Amino acid sequence: MNNKKLIDQIDLKDKKVIIRLDLNVPMKDGKITNNKRIVSALPTIKKAYESGAKVILLSHLGRVKEESDKATKTLKPIAKELTKLLDGKEVIFVPEAVGKEVKEVVKAMKSGEIVLLENTRWEDLNNKAESTNNPKLAKYWASLGEVFINDAFGTSHRSHASNVGIASNIAESGIGYLVQKEIEMLSKAINHPAKPAVAIIGGAKVSDKIKTIDNLLKHVDRVIIGGGMAFTFWKAQGLSVGKSLVELDQVELAKEYLKKYQDRLILPIDAALSVEFKNSKPIYNIYNPLEIPENYMGLDIGPKSIQLFKKELADAKTVIWNGPLGVCEFKNYSVGTQEIAKAIGSLKDAYTVVGGGDSVAAIATLGLESEFSHISTGGGACLAMLEGNDLPGISAIQNQGEKSRIAAEMLNPAEVKIDVDNNKKNDESTKELNVNKEDKKEDEQAKTQTIDSDKSDNSDKKEEKDKEDSSNKENDSKEQKTEVIDGK
């Protein structure tokens, strides 16, 4: 992945340059609530139009499953924000990603102009054409330009029409500045870390994240495990975990790792408990810190674990972090994440990177972003790198020095049409299956809590959490007294 052609190595002048970005920003009531991803895309956009390219921007926004999703999943507000951030430079918005208007606007483009097409995932309404990398859609988009730049790191672990598809059907391709930086920074930490190197894996997606351990321990000295991940390992050691988050089908693998890696895996030695999944006062089992009674659940690491983790980090020259150490959406259970973030920030001469949507959000909320060498913009993409997997969106890009992949008989743009019915006929059931599987994976935020027998919806939990958060704000200002479970 480190020898991909760079945007700086491609002559962009007067060429139609398609740039795939990740402009998937959070929005509320049609307003952008955080423009970080748009800001991160600016250097590549500027480079392209300042080089005299005709710049065609593509991005996804959320998921589009039915016609009605189009109303909220539109990039129109993002075109406006881009213009603002580019000091008034016009960004022409085309309210479709495929169609007559796209063709006309692109045909009329002059050098230095910027066009933003509508959300690529609108094409998922056409038999998931975008998400299954439909060849016709891929060729259609590729036919709009002569050069393709992938600068959407966040979707690089996916094989979609708007990244892999275009790259495979266009004469010349390269990576943008954001992807270049992400690959450089993450590879440096994951594959060639200065030693001692420590990885921290937390969060809730046990089955997704546990697989990173094998690859990480090829490169780093030790892996600290926290957050919901930890209790699957506690369970594997025969400890009682009460109602804590556990993925039972991962317990065997956890046992295997404990045996294989022994003291290179660092587990918490106590936990901050609660009887409910809410922002209550943390309870500590001070007499038996390694035991969680039946009606309790661990929502954060405890003070002894904080001390242990700090000790394990003290001499680190590289730290890689993915996944919060507790339910940091609840203020009372964000202490572990906060303390460890501060400890990492205070390390001298250490190279420190954080990835993962919730981890990065937690660090931003704590105001500790500047404490890290690199904060990744990719959740799934970062995780794929931690696992040691290639990213299809990057692999599909030309290598440096590689000649054009598509010969002169490149498709004639005028002849490439998307035929909705035809696509339907071409429906490959296996593809459908894969997509559904992925959907399920991405959509699920379900925490396999062993908590209640009633498997209440996670969104309810979130709401509950939000409510709890605001209702606990008053309490937060008051001093939190530590509750203790009576010794036995």
Is residue 447 a contact point for ligand ADP (CB under 6 A)? yes
Q: Least distance in Å: CB of 329 to ligand ADP?
A: 5
Determine if 45 is a binding residue for ligand ADP (CB under 6 A): no
Is residue 361 left, alpha or beta, with left meaning phi > 0 and alpha meaning psi from -120 to 50?
alpha
Contact 297, 274 (CB under 8 A): yes
Residue 57, token pair as written in the block: 């921007």
Q: Is 282 in the site for ligand ADP (CB under 6 A)?
A: no
Report the nearest approach of ligand ADP to the CB of residue 360 (Å): 7
Who's near 484: CB < 8 A, 6+ residues apart?
Answer: 283, 284, 285, 286
Task: Return the one option of Mg ion, ligand ADP, none that residue 336 interacts with (CB less than 5 to 8 A, by type).
Answer: none
Distance CA(418)–CA(345), nearest Å, equals 51
Query: N- to C-terminal Cα distance for the chain?
Result: 56
**Are 116 and 92 spatial neighbours (Cβ–Cβ below 8 Å)?**
yes
> Which residue, judged by CB position, is nearest to Mg ion in the bound state?
358
The values of phi and psi at residue 111, to 5°, are -60, 140
Tell me whether residue 357 is one of the annotated catalytic residues.
yes
From the list ligand ADP, Mg ion, none, partner contacted by residue 299 (C-beta under 5 to 8 A by kind) = ligand ADP
User: Does residue 299 bind ligand ADP (CB under 6 A)?
Assistant: yes
Q: Based on the shown chain and the rule CB under 6 A, indicate whether residue 358 belongs to the binding site for ligand ADP.
A: yes
Q: Does 326 bind ligand ADP (CB under 6 A)?
A: yes
Would you say 176 or 323 has its CB closer to ligand ADP?
Answer: 323
Question: Total residues at the site for ligand ADP (CB under 6 A)?
Answer: 21
37 is catalytic: yes
313's CB contacts (< 8 A; 6+ apart) are 198, 224, 319, 340, 343, 344, 347
Between CA 464 and CA 243 the distance in angstroms is 18
Q: How many residues comprise the chain? A: 488
Q: Is 358 in the site for Mg ion (CB under 5 A)?
A: yes
State which of residues 356, 378, 392, 393 lies at the interface with ligand ADP (CB under 6 A): 356
CA distance 167 to 155: 14
If one asks whether residue 227 binds ligand ADP (CB under 6 A), the answer comes out as yes
Total number of residues that touch Mg ion (CB under 5 A): 2
Among candidate residues 380, 393, 447, 461, the one labeled active-site is 380
| Binding partner at 326 among ligand ADP, Mg ion, none, C-beta below 5 to 8 Å by kind | ligand ADP
378 contacts ligand ADP (rule: CB under 6 A): no
SS3 198: strand
Binding-site ranges for Mg ion (CB under 5 A) = 357-358
**Active-site amino acid positions:** 37, 205, 357, 380
Binding-site ranges for ligand ADP (CB under 6 A) = 202-205, 227-228, 245, 298-299, 322-324, 326-327, 329, 356-359, 379, 447
